[in-house]
A and B are shown apart, each in its own frame.
Chain A
Amino acid sequence: MTAHEAANARRIGVYVCHCGGNISDYVDVDKVIADIEDAGDVVVAKTAMFACSDATQQDMVADITAQQLDGLVVASCSPKLHTYTFRGVAARAGLNPYEYTQVNIREQCSWVHTDDQQGATDKATALVRAGISRTRLTTPLEPMVVETLPRTLVIGGGIAGLRAAIGLADIGLGVTLVERELELGGWVRRFGPMYPHGKDGRALIETLVAEVRRRPAITVLTGAEVVGKAGSFGNYRVTVRVGGEGAGTIEVAAGSIVAATGFDAYQPETGEFGYGIEGVVTLPEFKALVDEATAPLTHRGRPVRSVAYVYCVGSRNTGGCANAYCSRFCCAATVQTAVQVSGLDPSIRQFHLYRDMRTYGKFEPLYTEARKAGSVFVKFDNDAPPAVARRDGGGLTVTVRDLLTHNEELALPADLVVLVTGMVPRDNEALVGVLKLPAGSDGFFNEIHPKLRPVETVVDGVLIAGACQGPKTSAESVASGLAAVTQSAAILKKGFTELDPLVATADQGACTACGDCLTACPYDAISMTETGDRHFAVISPTGCKGCGGCVPMCPENAIDLLGYTDAQVTAMIESLVEVPA
């Protein structure tokens, strides 16, 4: 049959998968085939032991070619798993990939209705019918090809951002590095010796900044903030405010954006482990003190002869309140600082009050080093946290129950109490609003997949790196910065990118320019435009993510989502409610 012989008829192939029993143990796949093979336009209807297997894929290609199929329905597992697999099958057979529909009869039928095989089978049949109905109305779609700018905007000039900028420049991409502070370097610039090898933080940053300066491909904007973003993946136009509040803005064009905005140190509440009492300091404060110190160590003019560290302050909270996570860097950082203190003056007594020591991986020898240098470690139970109080006649007393000494309550005299504070997400509300960065419940930015897509976000072309993703050591931050380099190169070096064509389109004629859709779009992809005296909405195909949020908002039904048109969805619903014969 050829197209002109039956203009409205479709030739659809339907494949129902056993999934090796995962489906067929509860869904009668043969009955599903029997029930749908008489549906209109179905030319091929088959079961397969594993639809995703190479052999079945080859059968499908052969069927599509031999039977000149123009629609494909595979009823198997979740579209998350195999949408791209079967789009590929269609493409290899010369069929437009968007003429294919995935029907999920595993997660939605066999796995959830193990107690009702008849019901599961009926539901599967209905879902397959709906899939056929959708496929009847498919049209060939082509991916949008967008040229990309070979330039990346890096937000944050800390160690991750600096290293990423260098990497991007070396791989042949232009870089604009935006730093909110007046000086590059972030947290690491403030540090002296850092673990594991005692390398000086300031020196590391100086090296990186010198490398940045040597690369003409990198433009550095300090005292600058990202305040707006337009355009879409491959062609972002980012507004950067330079020169502080009220000063001018410039527009930076970039193909991708790397957010490496870092972290804030947890700031204890007044009274939390005695914070606020003279002599109770946070780890960053203490680190600064030690970095600047020469023997003898003093704090505000008073000699420091003993130090008590209280670990996990602001981290690993239980009971549903904030910061349930482990801040990861602090155990090693504290132990390293303690070794530094011992180097300054070995006679200073140091007590580490900890819940669990997590000097993980290669940092474990630091813990041993600290112990050998005389640091004493006191493990306390989370239910009995230490208490810090001012002692009569100067100094502080920390009371703690030592689990290793039969839970005896000890009164530790200390000149300084160091609260080992962890990392908290930076207050980046404005930037989150501009970039649409997804943040988790902990406030750190979320990647798509922690293992497989560790620096990509759901916003195409917007990548995250460093401690803005969650607590990281500087080494880990640099590693993720370089991962963002690779990912930027992967999407920008081709010079173009293909975008999914499943986007919303607005019918200019039907649009009354009410503006409801503008507020519905989370990606700022819709704008009002005018021709003559007519105003109407235009949806940027590259900005649209195909979420469909605008479709129901339109009072005129002027918006349709390609691949999921109103007609298609209506047809699917009708099939689902249709009582089987």
Chain B
Amino acid sequence: MEAVTTPLAAPSPVPLDLGLYRELQRYGARDVSACFSCGTCTASCPLSQTDATFPRRIIRYAQLGMKDAVLSSKELWACYQCGTCAETCPTRADPSEFMAATRRYAIASYDRTRIARTMYTQPVLATVLAVVVALLFAAFMYAAHGPQSGETLAVFEFIPGHLIHDMGIAVMAIVVLAGLAGIATMARRIGRREDVGWGDVLGSRAALARSARAAWSAVGRESLGQAQFRAECDTGQEATPWYRRRGLVHALTVWGFLGLLAATVLDYGLDILGIKATGTPVPVWYPVRLLGTLAGIALVYGTSVLAIDRYRAANRAVTRSTTADWMLLGLLWVTGVTGFVLELALYLPGAPAWGYWMFLLHVAVAMELVLLAPFMKLAHAVYRPVALFYVALAKEAKP
């Protein structure tokens, strides 16, 4: 966030959307009308090193109804919600939570299906939907179920492996399409405001080099490495032991999730290459199984600590929670824990029958998690890197 002040070249007056503020409140934005733009949030923000307007400006946009400015803001996504500003704000306007709500609003706005909007603004309906989707997946798979072998836990005989694969590919296709559409909308908006076009990103060798560096910063350093989150945005947790700190716990959750995704894909890859058929029993040290186990430990540890901290409102970042927060944590945790129980069942003698049901639950919830990703909090995993790409690009000198 150093020196990322956006030059504003608005030639004509910005039309205001008087409904924006109320709309944001539907996404859980607290009342920020108390904010009088004093800038204490900016002064205390660990990310706002030279830009004198972050995050104050975002709140100002919302107060005034500058909808386009909000939806084309790359800075919105630079914040990791450490909560420092919520503590220092003299009017208790809670800028930190406001930024989070505005991100929810942005996710919903980039999604043209309006599913995300429903998920965020109608908590009861969203919860029912989550349960129903999981049940539908389970029912669909159960409808095609085979025998439950009593000798070894032959889960892919119980639920046909090809059915899971085909379902997975279909779900992935939906998710990728929805995700790409959202990313395109977001990138177009930010690009227009930042005056960054295709030419600036891909137009020349120098532009390509800049884009590559920005992409590395956004995807490599910040998304995979969680660098800034773990470093700058870890303030105020000096008294917390390192293994409970927000930055690390979030990173473990991310790494666990990505590790499990990698293990799943690798397992499929091994099957395609004919090295190991899916479902073949392997020892626990088998590399892919080991990766899955370790990633699973990371995910379950991460989501457990996040859930406990959130439940206890243990730090200033989680003083407030929404249904959307709990839903993501819940789905991740259930996916992780059912995976472990399933692994336990795999190595237990006598192929316990509950292992099959655990498998059905695990697959149903994992499918749901992936399917709903673009419409829930998990969507930040793709939107944030896009925004951070523009943040990094702005730091690169323009040709």
| Stretch in B53-61, B247-255, B316-324, B366-374 touching the partner | B53-61
Does the CB pair A413–B18 fall under 8 Å?
A: yes
Does the CB pair B31–A405 fall under 8 Å?
A: no
Does the CB pair A376–B14 fall under 8 Å?
A: no
A377→B91 CA distance, assembly (Å): 15
Asked if A406 lies at the interface with its beta carbon under 8 angstroms from chain B, I say: yes
Residues of chain A lying within 8 A (CB to CB) of residue B57:
405-406
Does the CB pair B13–A405 fall under 8 Å?
A: no
Cβ contact of A411, chosen from B15, B37, B53, B60, cutoff 8 A: B15
Residues of chain A lying within 8 A (CB to CB) of residue B33:
371-376
Asked if A578 lies at the interface with its beta carbon under 8 angstroms from chain B, I say: no
Asked if B16 lies at the interface with its beta carbon under 8 angstroms from chain A, I say: yes
Most chain B CB atoms below 10 A, which of A375, A397, A410, A413 = A410
Asked if A224 lies at the interface with its beta carbon under 8 angstroms from chain B, I say: no
Asked if A117 lies at the interface with its beta carbon under 8 angstroms from chain B, I say: no
Q: How many residues of B contact A (CB 8 A)?
A: 23
Asked if A384 lies at the interface with its beta carbon under 8 angstroms from chain B, I say: no
Size class of the contact patch on chain A: 20 to 34
Does the CB pair A411–B14 fall under 8 Å?
A: yes
Does the CB pair B18–A349 fall under 8 Å?
A: yes
Asked if B275 lies at the interface with its beta carbon under 8 angstroms from chain A, I say: no
Does the CB pair A377–B36 fall under 8 Å?
A: yes
Residues of chain A lying within 8 A (CB to CB) of residue B18:
305-306, 349, 413
Does the CB pair B13–A411 fall under 8 Å?
A: yes
Does the CB pair A410–B60 fall under 8 Å?
A: no
Asked if B273 lies at the interface with its beta carbon under 8 angstroms from chain A, I say: no
Cβ contact of B14, chosen from A347, A371, A372, A409, cutoff 8 A: A409
Contacts A405-B57, A406-B8: A412 and B16 contacting too (C-beta < 8 A)?
Answer: yes
Does the CB pair B13–A404 fall under 8 Å?
A: no
Contacts A371-B36, A375-B33, A377-B36: A410 and B16 contacting too (C-beta < 8 A)?
Answer: yes
Contacts A372-B33, A409-B13, A412-B16: A404 and B22 contacting too (C-beta < 8 A)?
Answer: no
Cβ contact of B37, chosen from A404, A409, A413, cutoff 8 A: A404
A351 to chain B, nearest CB (A): 8
Does the CB pair A410–B66 fall under 8 Å?
A: yes
A276→B64 CA distance, assembly (Å): 26
Does the CB pair A408–B34 fall under 8 Å?
A: no
A347→B22 CA distance, assembly (Å): 9
A406→B64 CA distance, assembly (Å): 13
Asked if A473 lies at the interface with its beta carbon under 8 angstroms from chain B, I say: no
Residues of chain B lying within 8 A (CB to CB) of residue A376:
33, 63-64
Cβ contact of B8, chosen from A368, A404, A408, cutoff 8 A: A408
A305→B14 CA distance, assembly (Å): 19
B341 to chain A, nearest CB (A): 50
Asked if A402 lies at the interface with its beta carbon under 8 angstroms from chain B, I say: yes
Asked if B308 lies at the interface with its beta carbon under 8 angstroms from chain A, I say: no
B113 to chain A, nearest CB (A): 28
Residues of chain B lying within 8 A (CB to CB) of residue A378:
64
Asked if B10 lies at the interface with its beta carbon under 8 angstroms from chain A, I say: yes
Residues of chain B lying within 8 A (CB to CB) of residue A351:
64
A402→B65 CA distance, assembly (Å): 13
Nearest to B18 among chain A residues (CB) is: A349
Cβ contact of B10, chosen from A347, A372, A409, cutoff 8 A: A409
Does the CB pair A402–B13 fall under 8 Å?
A: no
A349→B57 CA distance, assembly (Å): 20
Asked if A399 lies at the interface with its beta carbon under 8 angstroms from chain B, I say: yes
Residues of chain A lying within 8 A (CB to CB) of residue B53:
406
> Which residues 488-540 of A sit at the B interface, judged by CB distance below 8 A?
none
Does the CB pair B16–A405 fall under 8 Å?
A: no
B4 to chain A, nearest CB (A): 14
B13 to chain A, nearest CB (A): 4
**Residue interface mask A393-418, B partner, CB < 8 A = 1:** 00001010010111011111100000
Residues of chain A lying within 8 A (CB to CB) of residue B60:
402, 404-405
Residues of chain A lying within 8 A (CB to CB) of residue B16:
410-413
Nearest to B11 among chain A residues (CB) is: A409
A376→B18 CA distance, assembly (Å): 11
Does the CB pair B34–A405 fall under 8 Å?
A: no
A540 to chain B, nearest CB (A): 62
B76 to chain A, nearest CB (A): 15
Does the CB pair A410–B8 fall under 8 Å?
A: no
Does the CB pair B13–A410 fall under 8 Å?
A: yes
Residues of chain B lying within 8 A (CB to CB) of residue A411:
12-16
Residues of chain B lying within 8 A (CB to CB) of residue A412:
16
> Which residues 19-50 of B sit at the A interface, judged by CB distance below 8 A?
21-22, 31, 33-34, 36-37
Residues of chain A lying within 8 A (CB to CB) of residue B64:
351, 376, 378, 402, 405, 410
Nearest to B17 among chain A residues (CB) is: A413
Residues of chain B lying within 8 A (CB to CB) of residue A349:
18, 21, 65
A368→B33 CA distance, assembly (Å): 9
Does the CB pair B10–A405 fall under 8 Å?
A: no
Does the CB pair B22–A405 fall under 8 Å?
A: no
B86 to chain A, nearest CB (A): 17
> Which residues 350-371 of A sit at the B interface, judged by CB distance below 8 A?
351, 368, 371
A306→B57 CA distance, assembly (Å): 23
Residues of chain B lying within 8 A (CB to CB) of residue A402:
60, 64
Nearest to A409 among chain B residues (CB) is: B13
Most chain A CB atoms below 10 A, which of B15, B33, B66 = B33
A207→B15 CA distance, assembly (Å): 49
Nearest to A306 among chain B residues (CB) is: B18
Does the CB pair B14–A410 fall under 8 Å?
A: yes
Contacts A306-B18, A413-B18: A408 and B10 contacting too (C-beta < 8 A)?
Answer: yes
Nearest to A349 among chain B residues (CB) is: B18
B41 to chain A, nearest CB (A): 13
Residues of chain A lying within 8 A (CB to CB) of residue B8:
406, 408
A373→B34 CA distance, assembly (Å): 9
B114 to chain A, nearest CB (A): 23
Nearest to B60 among chain A residues (CB) is: A405
Residues of chain A lying within 8 A (CB to CB) of residue B36:
371, 377
A404→B37 CA distance, assembly (Å): 7
Nearest to A351 among chain B residues (CB) is: B64
A413→B13 CA distance, assembly (Å): 11
Cβ contact of B34, chosen from A305, A372, A410, cutoff 8 A: A372
Nearest to B36 among chain A residues (CB) is: A371
Residues of chain B lying within 8 A (CB to CB) of residue A375:
33
A411→B12 CA distance, assembly (Å): 9
Known: A306-B18, A372-B33, A375-B33. 5 other contacts (CB 8 A): A368-B34, A377-B36, A408-B8, A408-B10, A412-B16
Query: A residues touching B (Cβ–Cβ < 8 Å)?
Result: 305-306, 347, 349, 351, 368, 371-378, 397, 399, 402, 404-406, 408-413
Q: What are 22 contact pairs spanning A and B, CB under 8 A?
A: A306-B18, A347-B22, A349-B21, A371-B33, A372-B33, A373-B33, A374-B33, A376-B63, A377-B36, A404-B37, A404-B60, A405-B60, A406-B53, A408-B8, A409-B10, A410-B14, A410-B64, A410-B66, A411-B14, A412-B16, A413-B15, A413-B18
Query: B residues touching A (Cβ–Cβ < 8 Å)?
Result: 8, 10, 12-16, 18, 21-22, 31, 33-34, 36-37, 53, 57, 60-61, 63-66
Q: Lowest 6 A-B CB distances belong to which pairs?
A: A411-B13, A409-B13, A404-B37, A349-B18, A399-B13, A374-B33
